[in-house]
Each structure stands twice: as structure tokens, then as C-alpha cells.
Amino acid sequence: MARRILPKLVIFGDPTKGDVGAALEEFRGFAKGKVEIIASCGIDKCTLDILEDADFAIVFGGDGTIISAARQLSECNVPVIGVNLGKLGFLAEFSVEELKEHFDSIINGEAGIEKRMMLRCVVSREGQEQVHSVAINDVFITSGPPFGMVELKISVDGQPLAGCVSDGLIISTPTGSTAYNLSAGGPIIAGKVEGMVITPICPHSLSFRPIVINANSKVEVVGVRVNEGTTVSIDGQISCKLATVAVVKVEKHDGDFLVVHNPLRTAWDTLATKLGWAEKLKYNSGRQCRSSGR
């Protein structure tokens, strides 16, 4: 009798954080005989040859853990199963119990997989590359100490777009549109849409509004006037100082961030339950009487 070939799985998660260690141990027992676990990456990076051999990656933790793992998986197009053990869990769609309930359908290829675009960011100065990374959520520039406003020059596909005097700038994917971009007043964009959002942070102008551009556009941002602590950050996890005349180049990454969808939820359910989007007004149940003054 031929031996049954099991799907190959890579696990990401930091066992020292919260309930992650217990969840990892419980999952290994549950998955025995169902899949072949070829690596458990913890907080360390898995090598590319291991990741390329995986059929799925399962991430235990919060959205930050998923974003970190997704950058490692960006060259491999391996579908990510997110198990929420963090606070918000916007990208981590499954609870531990929901994962168990739908695990067989997931590994048999019956679950929906959503493609999300990613960004490629290169920061350079005088021809010297300082940072080169993939972004799942966003690339943002913050003014930093001593916290004066900065002046940035933005161009899209080689054409000047705007000068931006502000506390910074966010260039976001649709996935990241519900993160820093949303807090800064940018639009919510459905995850399947391919596009980029450029959102100023507290601009010194009433008319500088967020703009959505084509996913295939190439964005360049130059620091015209910056502070000593002005910083470029990628997903809030990789950072470098932005000096005057340094150039930040952002464009669509060739790979996709593949997310295994939880069939119990829609994208709009997640917005409503996690962020309280479009909640109904809360009316008083009883009538209020005005005082007659008598």
C-alpha cells in the first residue's frame, strides 16, 4: 500500500508570548497524522528552501506576528493561516477552535484563499542603499524629534504629485488601509483591490486629502526638510533614519500575500466586529420630558 502524502506545514509563533506556547503544543497534538510539520520558526527566520517546500504556513499570534511571517513568505506565495492569540486579530481570522473545525477542508484545498498585494520599499541616499524590504501594511515617514513639521516632495511615475508639509506620510496597501492609514483619516479599501493609498499625517493644509493610485505606480518621496529623528518605517517593524535628499522608492512587490479565509466571517463582518464600523446609532429607549420651568 502506497504511503499517503501529507501536506507540508510551517509554523510561526513565539512560544514565550502569552498563550502561544500552549496553543502550539495543543495544535501539534491535533495535527499529528494530518500534516507534516517541516519547520517551527518561532521568532527566527526560516530559510527560503524550507519555505518553498511548504504547502501552508500557520501563524499563532497577533497581526504583528502575521505581518512579520508574511514578509518572510513573500518570495514563496505560501498561503497563511492566521490564528488570533493577540489583541485585535484583524489579519488572524481563526480562533484555535475554528481552526480545528475547518482544518481538514483547509489542507484539502477547499478553503478560500485571498490574494493581497504587497509593496517593495527601497531607501537610498547618494546612490547607497540603506533599506530594502517588503511591506504588507504600509511604508510611513514620521517627523521624529525635535518634532517640527517636515517637508517631503512626492512624485508618481516620475511626475511631481505634491509637496507635503506635515508630520509625515503614509503609503499603504489595501490590507494596511485599516491600520495607520485609517487612523490618519485615509479610506478603507477592500483587501482584493489592487491600489496604493497616499495619506498625509496632519498636513499643514486643509486641501491635502488622501489619494488612491494605481497598484503599478512607482512612488518616490524625497526629504526636502527633515528633523534629526525623521524615520522611515516599514510595517512599523523595520526602520531607518531619513536624511535630507534621501529617496524612498515604493512600488508593488511581485509576489502576493495569500490569506486563508475563515468561512465563518466576511470581510465586512471583520470590519464591524473588530473596528465597530457602521454601527447603528444608540437611541434612548425612553422619552425625555422637558422641564416646564414650573
Q: List the catalytic residues.
A: 63
Q: What is the dihedral of CA 185, 186, 188, 190, to 10 degrees?
A: -170
Q: Please, which residues have CB within 8 angstroms of residue 97's CB and are 6 or more apart in sequence?
A: none
Task: Tell me if 121 sits within 8 A of 250, measured CB to CB.
Answer: yes
Instruction: Tell me if residue 141 falls in helix, strand or coil.
Output: strand
CB count within 10 Å of CB 32 equals 9
Instruction: Tell me if residue 168 falls in helix, strand or coil.
Output: strand
Tell me the C-alpha to C-alpha distance, in Å, between residue 269 and each of 100, 133, 276: 21, 31, 10
Phi, psi of 8 (to 5 degrees): -100, 135
- Cell, residue 45: 527566520
Nearest to 168 by CA among 138, 193, 194: 138
Q: Please, which residues have CB within 8 angstroms of residue 145's CB and are 6 or more apart in sequence?
A: 227, 228, 229
Distance CA 180, CA 199 (A): 10
Instruction: Tell me if residue 208 falls in helix, strand or coil.
Output: coil
